[in-house]
Amino acid sequence: MLEVRVKKDESIDKALRRFKKQCDKEELIKEMKKRERYEKPSERRRKRMIKSQRRFRTQDM
């Protein structure tokens, strides 16, 4: 669990910014969205395939 302690004479905005940076670093938001609902293995494979096809198309251009 992430924890940000507000330092003396530090604004809440700065502390919130530090918290958001920690969330990005830990990829917490991405993980939460991934676990939000169950994804079948076949759906995961399909998404990976579509992603690789897009990547392949952009390389050809």
pLDDT digits (tens, 9 = 90+) for 10-45: 999 999 999 999 988 888 888 888 889 898 999 999
How much is the pTM? 0.51
Q: What is the CA radius of gyration of the chain?
A: 19
Query: 32-40 contacts: CB < 8 A, separation 24 or more?
Result: none
Residue 22's nearest CA partner among 35, 34, 37, 5 is 5
Which DSSP state fits 9?
Answer: T
Burial class of residue 4 (count of CB atoms within 10 Å of its CB; 0-12, 13-18, 19+): middle
pLDDT of residue 14: 93
